[in-house]
A and B are shown apart, each in its own frame.
Chain A
Amino acid sequence: MNYFVKGNPDLCIGCRTCMIGCVVAHEGKHIFEVDPDSYSFNPKLHMVKTARLSVPVQCKHCENPACMAVCPAGAISQKDHCIVIDTDKCMGCKSCMDACPFGAINMTVQTGKFQADGSEKKVANKCDLCYGLPGGPACVRVCPTEALTLVTEEKLGEAMEHKRMEAARNTYRETHPQE
C-alpha cells in the first residue's frame, strides 16, 4: 500500500514551516547560499485556509492514481510506497493536474532546463514523500505542532482497528442503553 502525509487541522497553525521544509529538502542546503531567484521555489504541499480550517494539502499517493493513468509520457510511476513524477520525461501537458481530484499537482519551472522555444522548462510538481531523501518526509519533521503524520499501512491498520472497536462499543450502547 502507498503511504501518504496527512495534516490535522486541529493541530495546524497555518505557519507554512512545512512548505519551506519541503523546498529545502528537495533543492538542498545550497539554497541558503545562492541568489533566491536562481532556482524555482516550489513547495510540493499547499497551505489551505478557509473560514474555519487551516491545513496543508498534498498528494494522497492513490492506489489507482488518475494522474498516472492519464499521463501520455509515462512520466508518473509507483516507486516503493509512493507515486513519483519523472520530470525529465514530463512534457508539461497538464493532464495529471486536470485529473487529480485533490488539486495536489501544479506546474513549476525546472531551473536550468529549457523548452524548444527557449523558455524555461515547465513540469508537473507534487509530493513524492521525499523519495530517496534521508529522514523521511521533511514536512513531518519540521512541523512545530506535529500536525503532519506519515500514514503507513501499519498506522492505517491500527487506526482502523481502533475505529472498529469504537463502532462495536457504540453498537452495544445503542442496543443496551441502560447499561
Chain B
Amino acid sequence: MALKQVQTTCAYCGAGCQIMFTVDTDANKIVEAVPADGRTNAGTLCLKGHYGWDYLNDPQILTKRLRKPMIRKGGKKSPLVEVSWEEAISYVAERLGEIKEKYGPDSIMGTGSARGAGNEANYLMQKFMRACIGTNNVDHCARI
C-alpha cells in the first residue's frame, strides 16, 4: 500500500478549513482525514470536515455519481442516453449556437458554481458567457 499525504481546503462552507488527507494511491482511496493547522481553523474541524469526504467513492446512497456524458435524444422527458464526450460537446455547442443565432446572446443564461469547481472554472464560465456567447447573463447561487 503506497500512502501519500495531501493538504487541501475543505469542500464545505466558507470557513476555509485545512485538512490533511492520507491517501492510498494504489487503491485510489482516502484512508484518513485529520485537521491541519490552517489560518482559519487552527487544527480543528467540524463534522463535515472530519466525516464529509466519503461521497467520493460513490456510495449509492442518495443519488448516482455522474460518470458519462448523457443526452436526451428523444427530446424532453425521453430517457438519458450515454454518449461520448465528442458527441456531447458538439451537441451542446450546436444547440447553443442555434439558439444564439435565432434569438440573440441574451436568450442564453449560464451559472457559475459556488461549490467544488473552484475559481478557475468560474473564471472560464463567465469568460465563456461574455466572450463566446456575448452576454452578461451569468450568475450563481450567492443569492440562494
User: Which residues on A are within 8 Å of B, measured CB to CB?
Assistant: 15-17, 20-21, 24, 29, 32-33, 35-36, 142, 144-145
Contacts and interface: CB of A to CB of B under 8 A. Distances in A.
Contact of B47 (A17, A32, A36): A17
B46 A15 contact: yes
15 contacts: A15-B47, A17-B50, A20-B47, A21-B50, A24-B51, A32-B51, A32-B54, A32-B57, A33-B57, A36-B59, A36-B61, A142-B45, A144-B44, A144-B45, A144-B46
A35 B60 CA distance: 8
A173 B54 CA distance: 59
A24 B51 CA distance: 9
Contact of B54 (A33, A142, A145): A33
Contacts of B94: none
A35 B57 CA distance: 12
B32 interface: yes
Interface of B: 29-32, 44-47, 50-51, 54, 57, 59, 61
Contacts of B44: 144-145
A29 B57 CA distance: 14
Contacts of B51: 20, 24, 32
A35 B59 CA distance: 7
A158 B31 CA distance: 39
Contact of A17 (B46, B54, B57): B46
Q: Ordered nearest first, which 6 A-B pairs have the shortest CB separation? A: A17-B47, A144-B44, A32-B54, A20-B51, A144-B46, A20-B47
Nearest to A142: B50
Nearest to B44: A144
B92 to A, nearest CB: 35
Nearest to B41: A144
B40 to A, nearest CB: 12
B51 to A, nearest CB: 5
A20 B53 CA distance: 14
B47 A16 contact: yes
Given A29-B32, A33-B57, A142-B45, 20 more contacts: A15-B47, A17-B45, A17-B46, A17-B47, A17-B50, A20-B47, A20-B50, A20-B51, A24-B51, A29-B31, A32-B30, A32-B57, A33-B54, A35-B59, A36-B61, A142-B50, A144-B44, A144-B45, A144-B46, A145-B44
Nearest to A36: B61
